[in-house]
Structure 1
């Protein structure tokens, strides 16, 4: 636009005017902005020379420093391993029981076992040992095979597979109902002479004991503590189902399944000790 037609003559604008007074000025870019612009280009070039940056057909530019994220990760792991080595060496030389006798080593073991527990145990037993449906609670004092550190360690090493035979073909529906009501009432402190007699007559005490508290050598359940592995809302119906179909009984396709896998071939000896100490801290001690 010629200056004589420019409504703002003498102003450093491009001559582009909209709505009578909105115009495009022709001022130079601020010096600080240009410095930042060229500095960013220099920084980009320097970064590309020093670090991996540009992908190629089958490779990438390595950078003059030879830095990689994997290398940095490995260095960090080596640093952590060096710090932990003194504790790991002690764990290797001690039994799980001896670890518990050392307060500082126990604290380290429990802290380092949390990830192990989350990776290997939490799916069944819950993130805090509270037990998911159909799986044992680890945060109480009820232990089928005993809650000593030695018993817990053996459970982790060899696993557990309890067995209760299915009584559906041995007992009548009425007898199963009587026994189910008896054991649920027993756990609540109720007395049922007829149920108690049937409990004895059918030999239930052979596995669960005369007092109903179970036998750790067999891993049989304590029937008097109101703690139920298969904790259905209807306790009587749940107990009747277990009596009828048993637990891990291969002869009954509807049997309850209750298997703890062995970890001796999955985890190192140190990891098993750590888990034993961790689980013991949740609720062991018997």
Structure 2
């Protein structure tokens, strides 16, 4: 391949670099499109401005900090620090458009009574959205993401069984002050036969087993001075709200895993274990006053009320 210089080009012809290969293969010298050049220059200017505004270049063991800052409240004090992703997030969570709208809804809920909230579709939609987030952050570790609970440990919040009451006020009080479920152990009070009889009677109340002689003996223990179970569960065994004692006449089991038992004998053993061992330091719910704001607790009361239908 030889390289020769082309003939002098006409001023109106497409310009070339002045070189040709194999006699007629020429290299054109077309200028870059003007829009492309200006776009390139704009990116250069943008990069220079960005270097000054944000943390950018490593310098030794540090880096350039930029000139932008973010202001947010932390620990009750207003803080202003150099821009970084954390400070920008905190500022946005407190003063951003979404945060402002969220704060407005919290203020509406704080000012409204429970009946008004329940009838307002917009407030209820916010309760469901924000309540789910707060619940998953603070409550799901014990009650599960959907509020189903764990039999024997943490109550199921999606059924209609409310040990401490299921009204808005009851739930709000429970979240605020916490609860401490307690039932004494009867293994030192009742012998094995008596424990079997009491378990049979308890199961007969909800129709889990047929009433028989064992359940009749269990009823005498339940209602008499030997067991004294009626003092907590009530004469009709429907539970007492102020004590958080269970209603034994329904088919909702929060401690004994009766639904998982496949035979009458297994059901008796499940109830017998609870009566024998009692409930001591395993049904404690912490108080959320101070961990959540009063507005968040009120919102959570509405959210949890809806999970189980409420009262």
1:257 match: secondary structure: strand
More strand by share: 2
**CA-CA distance at 1:138 after TM superposition:** 0.6
1:56 equivalent in structure 2 = 59
Could you tell me which of 111, 129, 132 is aligned with 2:150?
Answer: 132
Deviations 1:264-285 (A, max 9, x none): 1211000000100000011142
2:147 match: secondary structure: coil
Could you tell me which of 231, 240, 249 is aligned with 1:206?
Answer: 231
**CA-CA distance at 1:45 after TM superposition:** 6.8
Q: Which moved more, 1:114-123 or 1:125-134?
A: 125-134
2:310 equivalent in structure 1 = 285
The count of residues paired between Structure 1 and Structure 2 equals 260
Contact 2:198 2:217 in 1 (8 A): no
1:118 equivalent in structure 2 = 136
Q: Which moved more, 1:213-222 or 1:271-280?
A: 213-222
* Shift in alpha-carbon separation, 1:167–1:75, aligned structure 2, 3 A: closer
* Shift in alpha-carbon separation, 1:159–1:61, aligned structure 2, 3 A: closer
1:24 equivalent in structure 2 = none
Alignment of 1:153-168 (within 5 A): 153-168=172-187
* Shift in alpha-carbon separation, 1:236–1:107, aligned structure 2, 3 A: same
Deviations 1:245-279 (A, max 9, x none): 2112xxxxxxx611111111211000000100000
**CA-CA distance at 1:94 after TM superposition:** 2.9
1:221 equivalent in structure 2 = 246
**CA-CA distance at 1:119 after TM superposition:** 0.7
Using the alignment, how far apart are the partners of 2:112 and 2:252 within structure 1? 34
2:203 match: secondary structure: helix
Does 1 or 2 have the higher relative contact order (CA < 8 Å, sep 6+)?
A: 1
Unmatched 5+ residue regions in structure 1?
3-9, 13-26, 249-255
**CA-CA distance at 1:111 after TM superposition:** 1.7
2:190 equivalent in structure 1 = 171
**CA-CA distance at 1:110 after TM superposition:** 2.3
- TM-score normalised by L of structure 2: 0.70
Unmatched 5+ residue regions in structure 2?
3-20, 70-81, 262-266
RMSD: 3.5
Deviations 1:213-259 (A, max 9, x none): 111121101112122213433432221121112112xxxxxxx6111
- TM-score normalised by L of structure 1: 0.76
* Shift in alpha-carbon separation, 1:231–1:195, aligned structure 2, 3 A: closer
1:258 match: secondary structure: strand
